[in-house]
Structure 1
Amino acid sequence: MTAVKVAAIQMCSGVDPVRNAADMARLVRDAAAHGATYIQTPEMTGMLQRDRKAAREVLRGEADDVIVSTARDLAKELGVFLHIGSTAIARDDGKIANRAFLFSPDGATVCSYDKIHMFDVDLDNGESWRESSAYEPGNEARVADLGFGRLGFAICYDVRFPQLFRAEALAGAEILTVPAAFTRQTGEAHWEILLRARAIENGTFLIAAAQGGTHEDGRETFGHSMIVDPWGKVLAMAGGTGEEVLIAEIDLDQVRAARQKIPNLKNVREFSVAIVPDRGDGEEAA
């Protein structure tokens, strides 16, 4: 079987992990009722909270996290692969992990993935973000075998680093993932084109569940959760605000077909970069 139904869940998570877990469960049940066997939630499913002190007061380790326990139970109850796009997990060293989880239909943890690239940036609208001040970045890409296909992991800002997706595709990933909480400003400029580019250049499906709307902590996220095919065609897209459940049927034979027609993964070559010195006379070197 190469065709499967997948779902991307758009949320507008608040500051209360328990309430967010209940919202997640309701939306996951909806996706499963529509036949999805792989379901993805957005980045920071468990909580979006600007106040770092307030966030730390409710953060828990993986063993005690309400999103983790709720997701594990849901995956087993519904018999689905449930991919928590990410949630904040308290580490023993006092820092936080922006961590994704994949649970199998029997409720087992298939794997986790810690966001590798930290969003440290000053935007021209006055917003400033320093993820690295609180979060410990991951250092390992992950590709998981779901039986019907292989899934590569990424989170939000990772989408701007194509080498991560290329490495996962070369490792056999047929579905790439970008759960996110993209800011409205950067989302309007780059969200769709980046997702479609990552799918096209790797000949993969891409699933990106997003946060969307104005959150309790005041931030605005772009929404527009998407499911994209290996040719860059958008199979499903959510609106810019509020909850939504996207469903699409994907056929992994399309991955093999796309890679056969455009075999760039096979044609890749190693190369060096030479810096040509400026001669100072306005002419190129011979």
Structure 2
Amino acid sequence: MQLYALQCCSLAQPQENLGQLRQLMQPLLAQPGPKLVVLPECALCFDGPTGQWQALAEPLGQGPMQQALSQLAMEFSCILVAGTVPIQADDGRAYAASLVFDDQGRRIGHYNKIHLFDVDVDDATGRYRESDTTCPGEHIEVIDTAAGRIGVAVCYDLRFPELFRALAAEGADVVVVPSAFTHKTGEAHWRALLQTRALENQLYLVAANQTGTHARGRQTWGHSMIVDPWGQVLDELAQQPGLATARFDQQRITEIRRAMPVLNHIRLPLGVRERKK
């Protein structure tokens, strides 16, 4: 299995972004064998006008964006992690849903982003309040695929190690991380967070990030990368659009977990054990 993290500078309109994705994925047509391709967060609509996120939201399993992503998975014969698209929520907001399609275009899983980016950053945007338009998810997602068991996280989720530990406990061999990390926070923390989440859980991380300056001036960090279970960066882009790639090696995971079985050595702190009684 070959792993790919696609990096792009998404615009506001889905059709423009679909054309960009198809162009960046062209090298995959010459690559035989199974492939896992991870798209960035908000791959089809990013930094658009106020209200666009909810206006574009589709019912789960229906709509032109989901149909187009299913077609991409079939066209390039890959497992496609399309992160994220707006999916309708009952409260008038939309879920930030990472949809996973197999190489036949069938949706085999989806994950609604749990941790929402409500923070202040010293950049041109300044104030981020994702919860104004996005409904938080409530469930983790681990999917059986030809690439092993895949766990799904999104962007700000990286700052919450409990989520990744839960994915590892459910048997994840690979965690995919569609992201739109800001330039400011990405420069400071992106690589450190990815390497830490990979090595502490002894799994592969495939992190696809947005890059560049977007429609309304939002700036993202790029540096999409693939990290192995030892915390080693196998491939990393700079800030140009493109594909980071590496080979998935199940034996590598097995060897590391056998030699250093940290996941079997987890003990709750004494105070936590006492509170649970």
TM-score > 0.5, shorter chain as reference: yes
Shift of 1:122: 1.2
SS in 2 for 1:88: strand
Aligned to 1:281: none
Separation (CA, whole Å) in 2 of partners of 1:147 and 1:57: 35
Separation (CA, whole Å) in 1 of partners of 2:113 and 2:157: 7
Aligned to 2:6: 9
Structure 1 counterpart of 2:108, from 100, 107, 110: 110
Identity of aligned residues (%): 37
Aligned to 2:257: 259
Contact 2:11–2:48, Cα closer than 8 Å, also in 1: no
Describe the superposition over 1:226-280 as per-residue Cα deviations: whole angstroms up to 9, x where unpaired. Answer: 001111111110112x311122112111111111122110011123438xxxxxx
Structure 2 counterpart of 1:22, from 16, 19, 26: 19
Contact 2:12–2:46, Cα closer than 8 Å, also in 1: yes
Alignment gaps of 5+ in structure 2: 273-277
Q: CA RMSD in A?
A: 1.8
Shift of 1:212: 0.4
One-letter amino acid matched to 1:219:
R
Contact 1:152–1:173, Cα closer than 8 Å, also in 2: yes
Moved more, 136-145 or 44-53: 44-53
Q: Rg: which structure is higher?
A: 1
Contact 1:65–1:89, Cα closer than 8 Å, also in 2: no
One-letter amino acid matched to 1:68:
Q
Separation (CA, whole Å) in 2 of partners of 1:106 and 1:55: 28
Shift of 1:54: 4.1
Separation (CA, whole Å) in 2 of partners of 1:157 and 1:91: 20
Shift of 1:96: 1.2
Shift of 1:178: 1.2
SS in 2 for 1:179: strand
Structure 2 counterpart of 1:82, from 76, 80, 89: 80
CA distance 1:181–1:148, shift in 2 (3 Å)? closer
Aligned to 1:211: 210
Contact 1:38–1:80, Cα closer than 8 Å, also in 2: yes
Aligned to 1:119: 117
Separation (CA, whole Å) in 1 of partners of 2:93 and 2:185: 26
One-letter amino acid matched to 1:182:
F
CA distance 1:263–1:122, shift in 2 (3 Å)? same
Describe the superposition over 1:205-228 as per-residue Cα deviations: whole angstroms up to 9, x where unpaired. Answer: 110011000111210000000001
One-letter amino acid matched to 1:197:
T
Aligned to 2:269: 271
Structure 1 counterpart of 2:96, from 89, 95, 98: 98
Aligned to 2:152: 153
CA distance 1:171–1:29, shift in 2 (3 Å)? same
Separation (CA, whole Å) in 2 of partners of 1:272 and 1:66: 52
Describe the superposition over 1:81-105 as per-residue Cα deviations: whole angstroms up to 9, x where unpaired. Answer: 1111212233353111111010011
Separation (CA, whole Å) in 1 of partners of 2:64 and 2:42: 13
One-letter amino acid matched to 2:8:
M
One-letter amino acid matched to 1:244:
G
Separation (CA, whole Å) in 2 of partners of 1:63 and 1:174: 26
Using the size of structure 1 for normalisation, the TM-score is 0.89
Shift of 1:50: 5.0
Aligned to 1:41: 39
CA distance 1:148–1:129, shift in 2 (3 Å)? closer
CA distance 1:79–1:31, shift in 2 (3 Å)? closer
Describe the superposition over 1:129-158 as per-residue Cα deviations: whole angstroms up to 9, x where unpaired. Answer: 111111000000000010341101000000
Aligned to 1:201: 200
CA distance 1:156–1:233, shift in 2 (3 Å)? same
SS in 2 for 1:42: coil
Alignment of 1:162 with 2:161, yes or no, is: yes
Contact 1:85–1:209, Cα closer than 8 Å, also in 2: no
Alignment gaps of 5+ in structure 1: 275-286
One-letter amino acid matched to 1:136:
C
Separation (CA, whole Å) in 2 of partners of 1:128 and 1:272: 39
One-letter amino acid matched to 1:29:
Q
SS in 1 for 2:87: strand
Shift of 1:123: 1.8
Aligned to 2:275: none
Aligned to 1:144: 143
CA distance 1:68–1:94, shift in 2 (3 Å)? same
Shift of 1:160: 0.3
